[in-house]
Structure 1
Amino acid sequence: MANDRLRTAMLAVNLTVEKLAAAVDVDPKTAERWISRERVPHRATRHKVVEVLECREVDLWPSLFEDTQARSGETELFRLYPSRSAITAMTWTNLLGGLREAMDLQVFSGIFLVEQYDLVALIRAKSATGVRFRLLVGDQSAPAVIRRAVEEGTPGGLEGRVQLMRRYLAEVAGLDGVEVRTHGETLYNSLYRFDDDLLVNGHTLGALAGQSPVWQLRRTPAGPIWEHYRRAFERAWAAGVPEIR
């Protein structure tokens, strides 16, 4: 039987068998057998394939689920990045551009999303199509923000970035489906939710957020980890202060 899942994933990113084979360093005939004969590549090659196709192994080869279903955390964990800076621009662009339902954001600043990926323009465009945005950013006067700035070695710098982010988001606060709130909670993790994808950027004492690891989770029907962070976001969101414009 043919592996239509793999074929569909390739079509979604406009890749031929030959291009996929070149991207993962295998012979095109080998890649063709993955589709025509539903062969499963070796583990190292599978990792290359899912990175190129931006999907999970079990999405392409469901038989692998039998080996991982007892480890729900493994099925939810799509990718681990050594730092936020290690996430490619293509990944951020795909996550933002692929939004269909909702984006939730819990950060102190997150200014890089505006300055590198034109978040404000994207919010305008996506909210007009029905995408919901809940954007929770820091209050630059909150003790937790000031303390975090000192801990990461940028006293005054973080507060300025937070204030700038709030000014940017003021342009879209109040659009249909767009809510902006501020918070002064201790930020144990920054959370970036894009529909069923969730980036969790852990914070480390003495290190900038961009230097700290990020784990990318994909929502699964019974996955406990996604739900754990969803509840954390909802608690912080409920305590947030709406930006009034």
Structure 2
Amino acid sequence: MVQFYPTRGAVPHNLWDRLLDEATEEVGILVYVGMFLTEKPDLLDRLGQKANAGARIRILLGDRDSSAVKQRSIEEGIGRETISAKIDHANAFFRPLRSVAGVEVKSHSTVLYNSIYRFDREMIVNPHVYGKTAPMAPAMHLRKTATYGLFDTYAGSFEAVWESSRPSEGRL
């Protein structure tokens, strides 16, 4: 573990940018929504450039109609359909990347215990806390080491969700 943050919002903006800038092989995003990502005006261009340079870009968004998404929305106290509506927004945001070679966007219906943001051999993991929205939950900056560790545990979790997901169509 490189650093622990009391909330995802406490992760420095320049760390997100550095991790994305330095990634050359893989960027993986596992979220229900990842709404804060849609506030980065150049994110789509940067991800597209990464893909065009040969990086694998994988984005996993929640299935808006899944029972897990509905339940999380209720548990956060924001209404049964709120996260589903946010997923619609995220799908619309990422839609332009669907035609870029090397970019895959999928939907998952898993219970999301953690949001995972992978950048080659580093990642930010945002463990979720019952009754709290993701920005209010802690975050960990992890780096892959030579031995099996936390990074590998969360990378394996990402892969398991990826394998159980389906291509995302999103709503228009």
AA partner of residue 83 (structure 2): L
Specify the alignment match of 1:138 in structure 2: 62
Q: How does 1:1-245 map to 2 (within 5 A)?
A: 77-116=1-40, 118-155=42-79, 156-244=81-169
> After TM superposition, what 4+ stretches of structure 1 lie above 6 angstroms from structure 2?
none
On the 8 A contact 2:117/2:125 being kept in 1, the answer is yes
The residue matched to 1:185 in structure 2 has which SS? coil
On the 8 A contact 1:93/1:117 being kept in 2, the answer is no
Structure 2 length normalisation: TM-score?
A: 0.93
Distance 1:174 1:230 in 2: 26
Residue 114 of structure 1: how far off its partner (Å): 2.1
- Aligned-pair Cα RMSD in Å: 1.4
AA partner of residue 34 (structure 2): G
On the 8 A contact 1:103/1:195 being kept in 2, the answer is yes
On the 8 A contact 1:134/1:178 being kept in 2, the answer is yes
Distance 2:114 2:42 in 1: 23
- Percent of pairs identical after alignment? 33
Residue 201 of structure 1: how far off its partner (Å): 0.3
Larger Rg: 1
Alpha-carbon distance change, 163 to 244 in structure 1, aligned in 2, over 3 angstroms: closer
Distance 2:39 2:144 in 1: 28
More helix by share: 1
The residue matched to 2:96 in structure 1 has which SS? coil
Distance 1:78 1:223 in 2: 15
Distance 1:150 1:118 in 2: 32
Q: Which has the higher contact order (CA 8 A, sep 6+)?
A: 2
On the 8 A contact 2:69/2:84 being kept in 1, the answer is yes
Residue 117 of structure 1: how far off its partner (Å): 5.3
Unaligned runs of 5+ in 1: 1-76
Distance 2:13 2:78 in 1: 25
The residue matched to 2:84 in structure 1 has which SS? helix
AA partner of residue 132 (structure 1): R
Count how many residue pairs are aligned between Structure 1 and Structure 2.
Answer: 169
AA partner of residue 105 (structure 2): V
On the 8 A contact 1:152/1:208 being kept in 2, the answer is yes
On the 8 A contact 1:106/1:192 being kept in 2, the answer is yes
The residue matched to 1:158 in structure 2 has which SS? helix
More strand by share: 2
The residue matched to 2:106 in structure 1 has which SS? strand
On the 8 A contact 1:173/1:243 being kept in 2, the answer is no
Residue 244 of structure 1: how far off its partner (Å): 4.9
AA partner of residue 3 (structure 2): R
Residue 95 of structure 1: how far off its partner (Å): 1.4
